Homo-oligomer: A and B are copies of this chain.
Amino acid sequence: MSPEEFRRQGHAAIDWIADYWAGLDDVPVLAQVAPGDVRRSLPTAPPEAGEPFDALLADLDELVVPGLTHWQHPRFFAYFPANSSPAAILGDLISSGIGAQGMIWATSPAVTEVEQVVVDWLAQALGLPEQFRLTDHGLGGGVIQDTASTATFTALLAALHRASGGSARDTGVGATKWAVYGSSQAHSSLVKAAMMAGLGSECVRAIEVDPATQAMDVRALELRLADDIDDGWTPVFVQAAVGTTSTGAIDDVQAIAEAIDGTSAWLHVDAAWAGVAAVCPEHRDRILAGVHLAHSIVTNPHKWMLTTFDCSVLWVQQRAHLTEALSITPEYLRNAASESGAVVDYRDWHPQLGRRFRAMKLWAVLRTYGLEGLRAHIRSGVDLAAYVEELVADDERFELVTPRSLSLVVFRHVGGDEPTLAAMHALNASGVAYLSHTVVEGRAAMRVAVGSWRTTRADIDRTWAELQRVL
């Protein structure tokens, strides 16, 4: 592709995206395909000769788009939002063009240093405690990971390194009975992390939650810790959820920190979805209470903060635990800057070696929206969810299952599981909107997770009207 051709096709790709977004309102949110439909529509072998990029764009419209569930649709309310935004897209596009590797500082210094700056900006934007920030004399710092799953796994490795006195990296987790704690509502990545770290799923204690709030029962945690320690287990990692996936429940981080005080456990705060709401001062007390006592915290700008996937930011109080747990230096990566200790080599902050210039997209979001724009975005999601909450309250056929949490509303049909799930499936099948379900205290519920920058009150109205129609 010549430079002129790249410009022409690049402009066409940008226009394709603008047109795709403009047309989203008119397509079903949920893909209307059966397993294998898309696969069967594509050739079974790669082409021998090259084709113009236009051919791909044409196939995209005809073969791929009908098979997509549209996460950027204004009436996508399932799971959690995974905002893409103009600023992030263009920031990431620039990153692709530069095509630099930031595995160590020396491989392209600006990749590391822009990331240091923007994760620190984000820490300030959210009002995180000072100890998580990378300052010249501090011990902490942040890093962009791909997902909160990876961030949680990485934090667990740092915890094991710390609790084992460094032996885990050399001789493994061995026969020590390590125990990992989270509430029964903790994200599934906690169990996956324990499996991947060689601890196994059975070491993860699913601590019961308060039935009303779905937050961890900290007294139950205390009892379990005491029992486990009596039984020869070593608590290594406790995860507090600030915004669970199921209902947006917020654990009491302060109380959890107090409960584990005196044990060898690392306290990790999973604020993957809710954490970014701390950009608004009015949410900060609730989201950050007790976070100063945590060893690490993760939040995902790629969920509700407009930063196209993937961008999950992990901050740690003591970066040395991460880097000591993960650092290996083969000869071909040795260099004077690393050995001087004057630089950060981010490959020691996560499982991967190679790394993309992901800071570009977060930088673009923080600058293009500014803190004012980000607060307006979060407030819009919260306001629209409050509106959903009102609609639920005003309809006697529905009831809230848990209190609204920020922009997440969890509710059900008063008739029970069957009408709840039937209504949700019918709404989803209509293509008008897409909701996902959960189970709370044994009963099915549907979730409306607002958060797209494209969603308006009219989208809520249209969704609600369709829900009425299918009841």
Contact = CB atoms under 8 A, between A and B. Distances in A.
A46 interface: yes
Interface string A328-364: 1111110001001011000000011110100000011
A340 B34 CA distance: 12
Given A53-B364, A97-B16, A121-B45, A189 B353 contact: yes
A127 interface: no
Interface in A200-223: 200-203
A103 to B, nearest CB: 9
A17 B93 contact: yes
A290 interface: no
Contacts of A400: none
A11 B15 CA distance: 9
Contacts of A9: 86, 90
A1 B86 contact: yes
Interface residues of A, number: 156
A181 interface: no
A254 to B, nearest CB: 27
Given A5-B86, A94-B60, A198-B199, A47 B351 contact: no
8 closest cross-chain pairs (CB), A and B: A198-B198, A84-B99, A67-B110, A17-B97, A172-B200, A10-B14, A50-B370, A38-B113
22 contacts: A1-B85, A1-B87, A7-B14, A16-B94, A17-B93, A20-B98, A37-B109, A46-B124, A47-B367, A53-B86, A68-B100, A68-B108, A92-B93, A99-B308, A146-B146, A149-B351, A170-B200, A171-B202, A172-B199, A197-B198, A331-B437, A331-B438
A112 B63 CA distance: 13
A228 B237 CA distance: 33
A278 to B, nearest CB: 13
Contacts of A172: 173, 178, 194, 198-200, 202-203
Contacts of A97: 13, 16-17, 20-21, 72, 84, 89
Contacts of A149: 351-354
A82 B202 contact: no
A439 interface: yes
B99 A309 contact: yes
Given A3-B21, A35-B340, A67-B113, A46 B99 contact: no
A157 interface: yes
Interface in A1-41: 1, 3, 5-7, 9-11, 13-18, 20-22, 31, 33, 35-39
Nearest to A371: B48
A373 B330 CA distance: 34
A195 interface: yes
Contacts of A114: 38, 42, 64
B107 A69 contact: yes
A71 B197 contact: no
B82 A99 contact: yes
Given A31-B110, A67-B110, A48 B94 contact: no
Given A7-B14, A10-B89, A245-B332, 10 more contacts: A20-B98, A35-B109, A35-B340, A38-B114, A52-B368, A68-B98, A89-B97, A101-B309, A167-B200, A198-B199
Interface string A74-97: 000011001111111111111011
